[in-house]
């Protein structure tokens, strides 16, 4: 997208007069200011996967922020669940840090990012100590989550003409999936961080896929900002199936990740209608998102990627020591037992839909599956704060 910077000096003059001297604007100045704002609003509404700082200068961001602040748009508060840190890159100021999933109003800076390019994709590994980041020049970095130290691993080539826009680990097998787009076409690939390769899975059918998330059962979901909708992506074919409209106008950088403590996918969204960043929860059945709160109150912020470490994962193969379920394949009854207290069990179908939840709070339990259709399911078990996933067959 080309950027018109011809009015930068005019806007700097406007701010100097307005902020330093507090003079009333004459009719000519008002008309000029309104013209500047109109042009910025028109530019704002052009869909792009670029960083907001590539589209607007600092002065232009101030003008837009002041305009939307005057509209007095208020956000409702929805509790997100247990306290959990969300890590990510704040792209406007190039800072890596974290905010609280239950109160995202403030941002704790861990370190300044050394990357001058837009960080459009990132994901935190299973242990939660390392993130992998791809910028729009195809450089792959590993990132120490605790210190904010970036290490350049080398270049990874996306499909021709595309940039990486989403990155996420599959919790069921550790595969690192990547989303990339040209602005008219979006692809799914598998990243090898050792060989520095991107193996194309296929073309998704989405236009501007810009954020990727994977639920506990290993199902892939993506946000397309061309039509502001959530899609589910087949890991074998890459074909994306429309789920539904997210409920707001998304633009610029977006970050999406699973909150393992709640089982909810969260979206660090840039809401183009209010020109602000918001934390939203994503309904993976309908696609609709629910506002939690504004991220970093009072400033223009943007998150190209977010990651949420899973503190419950302590076993490398994502299975739980001392836990058994049987028989498998099973009929109507599935039996569970463990050495430690089983907190709860959830079941997902192969479309990623949550079909059954049962609290347990015991060392052994029986789950009635009689109302579930025959087929394959993912059983998600929580024991003493740790989570494991098990594939079962219901006959």
Q: What angle do CA 72, 229, 288 make, to 5 degrees?
A: 65
Q: Residue 79: what pLDDT?
A: 37
Give the CA count within 13 Å in the CB-facing half-sphere of 12: 7
Same domain, 343 and 259: no
Q: Residue 317: what pLDDT?
A: 39
| Owner of token pair 């370190």 | 111
Same domain, 141 and 184: yes
Contact 362, 377 (CB under 8 A): no
Question: 337: domain range?
Answer: 324-394
Distance CA 166, CA 207 (A): 14
Same domain, 247 and 365: no
Prediction pTM value: 0.66
Q: Residue 86: what pLDDT?
A: 94
Distance CA 206, CA 196 (A): 25
Q: Count structural domains, the chain.
A: 3
Q: Which residues contact 89 (CB under 8 A, 6 or more apart)?
A: 95, 96, 113, 119, 122, 133, 303, 304, 305
3-state secondary structure of 330: strand
Q: Select from 307, 334, 369 the last residue of a domain.
A: 307
Same domain, 256 and 160: yes
Same domain, 145 and 214: yes
Q: What angle do CA 218, 84, 220 make, to 5 degrees?
A: 15
Q: What is the CATH number of the domain that holds 156?
A: 2.120.10.30
Reply yes or no: is the peptide bond before residue 327 cis, omega within 30 of 0: yes
Same domain, 183 and 154: yes
Q: Residue 233: what pLDDT?
A: 97
Contact 272, 45 (CB under 8 A): yes
Q: Which residues contact 197 (CB under 8 A, 6 or more apart)?
A: 156, 157, 191
Q: Is the dihedral of CA 24, 27, 32, 38 positive or negative?
A: positive
Taking each continuous run of H as one helix and of E as one strand, the counts in the chain are 4, 25
> How many angstroms separate the Cα of 306 from the Cα of each of 141, 231, 245?
15, 19, 21
Q: Residue 91: what pLDDT?
A: 92
Same domain, 111 and 239: yes
Rg (CA), the chain: 23
User: Mean pLDDT per 10-residue run, the chain (395 residues)?
Assistant: 36 41 46 69 77 80 67 40 76 94 91 93 86 95 94 96 95 91 96 95 97 91 97 96 97 90 88 93 94 90 90 48 86 92 85 81 92 84 83 85
> Residue 78 falls within a domain, yes or no?
no
> Residue 222 falls within a domain, yes or no?
yes
Distance CA 70, CA 332 (A): 59
Q: Select from 307, 336, 358 the last residue of a domain.
A: 307
Same domain, 269 and 369: no
Q: How far apart are the first and last CA of the chain?
A: 54
Q: Which residues of 155-175 are buried (b: 16+ CB within 10 A; e: fewer)?
A: ebebbeebbbbbbbbbbbeee
Nearest CA-CA partner of 192 in 214, 222, 169, 209: 169
Q: Residue 349: what pLDDT?
A: 76
Q: Which residues contact 174 (CB under 8 A, 6 or more apart)?
A: 126
Q: Is the dihedral of CA 23, 26, 31, 32 positive or negative?
A: negative
Q: Residue 46: what pLDDT?
A: 81
The two three-digit tokens of residue 147, written as one number: 């210190």
Q: Residue 18: what pLDDT?
A: 39
Same domain, 294 and 367: no
Q: Residue 70: what pLDDT?
A: 54
> Residue 294 falls within a domain, yes or no?
yes
Nearest CA-CA partner of 383 in 348, 340, 334, 327: 340
Q: What is the CATH number of the domain that holds 389?
A: 2.60.40.3080
* Residue 236, number of CB atoms within 10 A of its CB: 8
Strands 229-233 and 103-112: unpaired
Contact 173, 317 (CB under 8 A): no
Same domain, 244 and 373: no
Same domain, 61 and 90: no
| Owner of token pair 């792209």 | 91
Same domain, 296 and 353: no
> Residue 76 falls within a domain, yes or no?
no
Residue count of the chain, please give it.
395
Phi-psi region of 378 (alpha: psi -120 to 50; beta: other; left: phi over 0): beta
């Amino acid at each position: 997208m080309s950027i018109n910077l011809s009015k930068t000096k005019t806007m700097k003059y406007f701010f100097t007069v307005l902020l330093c001297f507090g003079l009333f604007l004459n009719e000519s100045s008002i008309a000029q200011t309104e013209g500047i704002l109109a042009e910025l609003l028109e530019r704002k509404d052009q869909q792009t996967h670029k960083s907001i700082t590539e589209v607007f200068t600092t002065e232009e961001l101030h003008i837009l922020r002041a305009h939307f602040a005057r509209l007095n748009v208020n956000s409702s508060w929805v509790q997100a669940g247990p306290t959990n840190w969300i890590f990510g890159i704040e792209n406007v100021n190039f800072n890596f840090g974290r905010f609280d999933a239950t109160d995202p109003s403030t941002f704790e800076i861990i370190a300044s990012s050394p990357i001058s390019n837009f960080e459009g994709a990132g994901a935190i590994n299973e242990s939660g100590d390392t993130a992998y980041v791809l910028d729009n020049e195809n450089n792959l970095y590993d990132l120490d989550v605790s210190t904010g130290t970036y290490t350049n691993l080398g270049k990874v080539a996306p499909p021709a003409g595309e940039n990486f826009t989403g990155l996420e680990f599959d919790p069921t097998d550790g595969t690192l999936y990547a989303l990339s787009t040209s602005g008219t076409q979006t692809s799914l690939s598998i990243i090898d961080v050792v060989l520095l390769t991107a193996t194309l899975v296929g073309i998704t059918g989405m236009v501007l896929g810009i954020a990727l998330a994977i639920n506990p059962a290993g199902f892939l979901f993506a946000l397309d900002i061309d039509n502001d909708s959530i899609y589910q992506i087949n890991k074998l074919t890459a074909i994306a199936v429309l789920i539904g409209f997210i409920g707001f106008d998304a633009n610029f950088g977006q970050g999406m990740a699973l909150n393992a403590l709640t089982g909810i996918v969260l979206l660090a969204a840039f809401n183009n209608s209010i020109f602000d960043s918001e934390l939203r929860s994503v309904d993976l059945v309908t696609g609709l998102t629910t506002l939690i709160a504004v991220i970093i109150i009072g400033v223009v912020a943007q998150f190209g990627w977010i990651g949420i470490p899973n503190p419950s994962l302590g076993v490398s193969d994502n299975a739980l020591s001392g836990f058994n379920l049987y028989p498998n394949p099973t009929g109507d009854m599935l039996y569970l037992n463990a050495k430690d207290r089983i907190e709860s069990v959830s079941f997902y179908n192969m479309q990623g839909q949550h079909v059954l939840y049962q609290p347990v709070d015991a060392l052994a339990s029986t789950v009635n599956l009689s109302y579930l259709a025959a087929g394959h399911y993912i059983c998600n078990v929580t024991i003493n704060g740790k989570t494991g996933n098990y594939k079962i067959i219901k006959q």
